[in-house]
């Protein structure tokens, strides 16, 4: 939809400046790579796999890193522990089997200052690549076993004259995943491309932006990103390329936002007095500052003639639901219906209970609509919704997927946005005529970053937790302390508290298919060193051996929804004291008497997930404890556990998570329908992002359709990016 819009504004006006000239330049940049020296059909195939088909593609195939070959480290100066680049001559080489039975290939290298062993594991064929007397460059981690060694290094065999200006005596580029193409080969191609084609690149950025942001020209940038004359120029080149990429993203956001604000008229609500005011008065607690600010933002939005499009961000337990309930009351007070959509049935059910409790006394009629209910009841609810007898519907996806038709939908609330795609959001919107939309998320990210990702939403952030909350104390303990952990839980139970025990799996690994670790697309299995616990075995063990004197409940995602409901009710009522569960418990569950959570195999969960899980406790007046039981197998897993142990601030955790997982994984930018980010790193380069955002929004404010002459190339670039995506 959006890309069509962009295309239409591009096509509607003839693009004039130097049309012909630019076309010629583009034709040259589109020269097929197959006309390059040294590119036969085989190589072409390999290059295509890297997405390189034409001259311009190589120019934009940016190096992954650089090696300073104007400056090698002398073997005598190598330090264990760091990755370093060395150059030397091969003295001897051969395959060996070590004492432990590992097969290694080794070469011994000298550079006048000393000798060093280079070692590769399980690659005996390497002996055919190297030969005695060759000059090689190695890059890799230097470690000390009995002597200093460079382990599994990347290598490049130098040919001919060392003074060779492409590969030596300069800062050289090293490219990504070259499959069967050597670095040397790719670098050679890049060198040709840079020298022959750089000059045909067209500068898209208007001069005033280049000047204001002190950016180098695109030709200089591309030349120096491949073959920098020094590190300062490399930095300038990188900044320039990333700035353009971010500017395009921000322009797209700015135009999208402008479009969404322009067209639609929303439903202007009366916000003063009535049930909404009564609602606020009846609350058993004072709203926090953050909640009040969010409520005020919402009042402003809902009373305006434009539909609300707001993201409500707040850490787990910060009290977002109350704010949503208030917004729902406003829409009902104005004679409209509201819907609240949750990612899981358990959560929908809990929201239903909470809202019923809060709103029924005000004469507001709340209905629950989830997959688990029987057909007749469902039909009845559908018809009640359609006739407007129901004021507020709480449900799961069933709400949007099913036949739910609203009489007058005024507000749609979506809980835990990170589980929903944009498509669902717009589907939900279509259930009404430009209803207000409030999206809630417990994945707290800094406002600026959020603006970038949810660029079309306004944002309210609840920073603080309600007063009187005791911070959750988190301990990471190793398997050996299991007994002590159980003793501790017993003490808490004896005081009348309740406990969660979380396991990653439902059945033992052998029986269950893939271990289901929700909302994670990467593999934590490698981080596990001890047995992976499953709820079915755990519940037996706890009932029979560890806590025979207490009632132990069981909850997992494969249970029927009636069953889940019963289990949750028993736990809420305190009939069961311990609840053994998978991460179905992850979001939103609110049981104030639970004060301990034991997380088994904590190394197998992501940071955000651990934080969410732990957010299930510490909701009442009691001191609460989260115990992470884990013998992690990797440094990264250990890092996660230490992070969780060390901070309770969801914002900090989100940032750490972002840094560990990378933004692609974290946000799934693709699903937002925005151009993919290829060059920059939205975390590391956030300063650049902010500058680009400022430029882009200012630009669109002054020249909404990018019609000024110096913006034409930007517009074209924007459109072509979206075309490429289709």
Residues near ligand ADP, by CB under 6 A: 285-288, 291, 314, 316-322, 442, 466, 588, 590, 619
Segment near Mg ion (CB under 5 A); pick from 259-267, 551-559, 582-590, 611-619:
582-590
Residue with tokens 């305006």: 304
Measured in whole angstroms, how far is the alpha carbon of residue 233 from the centre of its chain?
31
Q: How far apart are the first and last CA of the chain?
A: 11
Q: Which residue is nearest to Mg ion (CB)?
A: 588
Q: Which does residue 466 touch among Mg ion, ligand ADP, none (CB within 5 to 8 A, set by kind)?
A: ligand ADP
Q: Which does residue 288 touch among Mg ion, ligand ADP, none (CB within 5 to 8 A, set by kind)?
A: ligand ADP
Rounded Cα gap, residues 210 and 222, in angstroms: 15
**What is the smallest separation between the CB atom of 539 and ligand ADP, expressed in angstroms?**
26
Tokens of 336: 């409209």
**What is the smallest separation between the CB atom of 317 and Mg ion, expressed in angstroms?**
8
Strand 436-441 and strand 309-314: the pairing is parallel
Q: Which does residue 337 touch among Mg ion, ligand ADP, none (CB within 5 to 8 A, set by kind)?
A: none
Q: Which residue is nearest to ligand ADP (CB)?
A: 319
**What is the smallest separation between the CB atom of 587 and ligand ADP, expressed in angstroms?**
8
Rounded Cα gap, residues 64 and 378, in angstroms: 55
The DSSP annotation for 245-261 comes to HHHHHHHHHHHHHHHHH
Closer to ligand ADP at the Cβ: 314 or 410?
314
Beta pairing partners, 223:
none
Tokens of 64: 């992954």
Closer to Mg ion at the Cβ: 331 or 612?
612
Segment near Mg ion (CB under 5 A); pick from 72-80, 116-124, 587-595, 688-696:
587-595
**What is the smallest separation between the CB atom of 466 and ligand ADP, expressed in angstroms?**
3
Segment near Mg ion (CB under 5 A); pick from 417-425, 581-589, 596-604, 713-721:
581-589
The count of residues interacting with Mg ion (CB under 5 A) is 1
Tell the burial category of 320 from Cβ atoms under 10 Å away from its Cβ (0-12, 13-18, 19+): buried
Contact 186, 31 (CB under 8 A): no
**What is the smallest separation between the CB atom of 569 and ligand ADP, expressed in angstroms?**
17
- Per DSSP, 44 falls in state H
Q: Determine how many CB atoms are found less than 10 A away from the CB of residue 112.
A: 9
Closer to ligand ADP at the Cβ: 47 or 442?
442
Closer to ligand ADP at the Cβ: 256 or 351?
351
Q: Which does residue 589 touch among ligand ADP, Mg ion, none (CB within 5 to 8 A, set by kind)?
A: none
**What is the smallest separation between the CB atom of 438 and ligand ADP, expressed in angstroms?**
13
Closer to Mg ion at the Cβ: 381 or 461?
461
Q: Phi and psi (nearest 5°) for 130? A: -100, 160
Sequence-distant contacts of 232-238: CB under 8 A, at least 24 apart: 234/66, 234/171, 238/679
Tokens of 496: 């009348």
Q: Which does residue 314 touch among Mg ion, ligand ADP, none (CB within 5 to 8 A, set by kind)?
A: ligand ADP
**What is the smallest separation between the CB atom of 627 and Mg ion, expressed in angstroms?**
23
**What is the smallest separation between the CB atom of 617 and Mg ion, expressed in angstroms?**
15
Residue of 695, 596, 422, 452 whose CA lies nearest to 439: 422
**What is the smallest separation between the CB atom of 467 and ligand ADP, expressed in angstroms?**
6
Closer to ligand ADP at the Cβ: 590 or 649?
590
**What is the smallest separation between the CB atom of 50 and Mg ion, expressed in angstroms?**
44
Q: Which does residue 452 touch among ligand ADP, Mg ion, none (CB within 5 to 8 A, set by kind)?
A: none
Q: Which does residue 504 touch among ligand ADP, Mg ion, none (CB within 5 to 8 A, set by kind)?
A: none
Is position 588 an interface residue for Mg ion (rule: CB under 5 A)? Answer: yes
**What is the smallest separation between the CB atom of 415 and Mg ion, expressed in angstroms?**
6
Q: Which does residue 317 touch among ligand ADP, Mg ion, none (CB within 5 to 8 A, set by kind)?
A: ligand ADP
Closer to ligand ADP at the Cβ: 287 or 696?
287
Q: Which does residue 322 touch among Mg ion, ligand ADP, none (CB within 5 to 8 A, set by kind)?
A: ligand ADP
Residue with tokens 């200089």: 220
**What is the smallest separation between the CB atom of 80 and ligand ADP, expressed in angstroms?**
47
- Per DSSP, 544 falls in state I
What angle, rounded to 10 degrees, do the helices at 712-725 and 231-263 form? 80
Q: Which does residue 319 touch among ligand ADP, Mg ion, none (CB within 5 to 8 A, set by kind)?
A: ligand ADP
**What is the smallest separation between the CB atom of 619 and ligand ADP, expressed in angstroms?**
5
Strands (E), 540-633: 552-555, 578-581, 594-599, 624-629
Tell the burial category of 47 from Cβ atoms under 10 Å away from its Cβ (0-12, 13-18, 19+): buried
- Per DSSP, 467 falls in state T
What angle, rounded to 10 degrees, do the helices at 712-725 and 2-11 form? 140
Closer to ligand ADP at the Cβ: 465 or 689?
465
Q: Which does residue 475 touch among ligand ADP, Mg ion, none (CB within 5 to 8 A, set by kind)?
A: none
Closer to Mg ion at the Cβ: 581 or 612?
612
The SS3 call for residue 297 is helix
- Per DSSP, 703 falls in state S
Closer to ligand ADP at the Cβ: 167 or 616?
616
Contact 85, 139 (CB under 8 A): yes
**What is the smallest separation between the CB atom of 440 and Mg ion, expressed in angstroms?**
7
What dihedral do alpha carbons 300, 303, 309, 313 form, nearest 10°?
40
Residue with tokens 């590190």: 231
Closer to Mg ion at the Cβ: 479 or 649?
649
Closer to ligand ADP at the Cβ: 285 or 475?
285
Element of type H or E holding 637: helix 635-646
Closer to ligand ADP at the Cβ: 461 or 691?
461
Tell the burial category of 135 from Cβ atoms under 10 Å away from its Cβ (0-12, 13-18, 19+): middle
**What is the smallest separation between the CB atom of 242 and ligand ADP, expressed in angstroms?**
35
Q: Which does residue 203 touch among ligand ADP, Mg ion, none (CB within 5 to 8 A, set by kind)?
A: none
Closer to ligand ADP at the Cβ: 310 or 604?
310
Beta pairing partners, 141:
83, 151
Closer to ligand ADP at the Cβ: 41 or 468?
468
Q: Which does residue 316 touch among Mg ion, ligand ADP, none (CB within 5 to 8 A, set by kind)?
A: ligand ADP
Tokens of 317: 């337990």
Rounded Cα gap, residues 87 and 437, in angstroms: 61
Q: Which does residue 715 touch among Mg ion, ligand ADP, none (CB within 5 to 8 A, set by kind)?
A: none
The DSSP annotation for 310-329 comes to EEEEE-TTS-HHHHHHHHHH
Residues that bind Mg ion (CB under 5 A): 588
């Amino acid at each position: 939809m959006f890309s069509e819009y962009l295309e239409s504004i591009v096509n509607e006006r003839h693009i004039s400046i130097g049309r012909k000239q630019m076309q010629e330049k583009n034709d040259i940049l589109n020269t097929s790579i197959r006309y390059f020296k040294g590119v036969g059909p085989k190589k072409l195939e390999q290059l295509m796999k890297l997405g390189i088909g034409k001259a311009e593609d190589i120019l934009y195939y940016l190096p992954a890193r650089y090696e300073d070959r104007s400056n090698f480290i002398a073997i005598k100066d190598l330090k264990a522990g760091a990755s370093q680049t060395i150059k030397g001559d091969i003295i001897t080489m051969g395959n060996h089997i070590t004492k432990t039975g590992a097969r290694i290939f080794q070469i011994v290298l000298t550079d006048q200052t000393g000798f060093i062993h280079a070692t590769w594991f399980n690659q005996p064929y390497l002996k055919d690549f190297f030969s005695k007397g060759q000059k090689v460059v190695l890059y890799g981690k230097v470690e000390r076993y009995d002597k200093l060694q460079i382990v599994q290094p990347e290598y490049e065999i130098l040919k001919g004259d060392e003074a060779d200006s492409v590969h030596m005596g300069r800062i050289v580029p090293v490219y990504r995943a070259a499959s069967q193409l050597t670095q040397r080969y790719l670098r050679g191609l890049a060198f040709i491309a840079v020298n022959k084609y750089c000059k045909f690149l067209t500068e898209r950025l208007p001069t005033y932006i280049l000047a204001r942001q002190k950016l180098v020209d695109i030709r200089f940038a591309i030349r120096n990103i491949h073959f920098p004359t020094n590190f300062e120029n490399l930095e300038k080149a990188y900044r320039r390329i990333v700035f353009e990429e971010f500017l395009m993203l921000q322009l797209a956001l700015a135009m999208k936002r402008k479009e969404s604000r322009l067209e639609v008229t929303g439903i202007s609500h009366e916000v003063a007095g009535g049930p909404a005011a009564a609602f606020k008065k009846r609350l058993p607690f004072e709203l926090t500052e953050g909640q009040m600010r969010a409520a005020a933002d919402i009042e402003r939005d809902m009373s305006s003639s434009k539909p609300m499009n707001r993201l409500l961000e707040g850490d787990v337990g910060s009290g977002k639901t109350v704010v949503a309930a208030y917004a729902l009351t406003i829409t009902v007070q104005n004679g409209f219906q509201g819907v609240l959509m949750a990612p899981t049935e358990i959560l929908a059910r809990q929201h239903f209970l909470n809202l019923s409790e809060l709103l029924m006394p005000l004469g507001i009629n709340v209905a629950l609509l989830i997959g688990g209910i029987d057909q007749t009841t469902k039909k009845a609810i559908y018809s009640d919704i359609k006739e407007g007898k129901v004021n507020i519907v709480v449900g799961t996806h069933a709400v949007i997927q099913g036949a739910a038709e609203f009489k007058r939908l005024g507000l749609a609330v979506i809980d835990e946005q990170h589980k929903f795609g944009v498509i669902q959001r717009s589907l939900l919107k279509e259930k009404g005529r430009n209803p207000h939309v409030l999206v809630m998320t417990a994945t707290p990210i800094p406002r600026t970053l959020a603006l970038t990702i949810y660029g079309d939403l306004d944002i309210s952030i609840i920073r603080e937790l309600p007063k009187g909350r005791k911070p959750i104390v988190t301990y990471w303990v190793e398997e050996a302390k299991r007994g002590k952990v159980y003793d501790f839980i017993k003490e808490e139970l004896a005081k009348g508290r309740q406990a969660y025990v979380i396991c990653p799996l439902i059945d033992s690994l052998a029986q269950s298919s893939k271990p289901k670790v929700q909302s994670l697309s990467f593999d934590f299995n490698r981080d596990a060193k001890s047995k992976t616990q499953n709820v079915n075995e755990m519940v037996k063990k706890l009932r029979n051996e560890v806590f025979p004197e207490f009632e132990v409940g069981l909850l997992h995602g494969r249970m029927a929804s009636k069953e889940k409901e019963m289990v949750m009710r028993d736990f809420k009522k305190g009939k069961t004291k311990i609840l053994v569960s998978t991460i179905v418990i992850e979001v939103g569950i609110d049981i104030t008497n639970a004060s301990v959570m034991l997380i088994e195999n904590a190394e197998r969960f992501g940071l955000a997930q651990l934080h969410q899980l732990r957010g299930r406790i510490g909701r009442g007046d009691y001191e609460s404890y989260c115990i992470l039981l884990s013998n992690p197998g990797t440094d990264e897993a250990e890092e996660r556990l230490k992070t969780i142990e060390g901070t309770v601030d969801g914002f900090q955790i989100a940032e750490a998570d972002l840094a560990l997982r990378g933004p692609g994984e974290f946000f799934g930018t693709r699903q937002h329908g925005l151009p993919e980010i290829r060059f920059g790193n939205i975390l590391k380069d956030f300063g650049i992002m902010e500058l680009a955002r400022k430029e882009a929004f200012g630009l669109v404010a002054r020249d909404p359709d990018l019609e000024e002459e110096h913006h034409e190339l930007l517009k074209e670039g924007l459109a072509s990016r979206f075309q490429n995506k289709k």
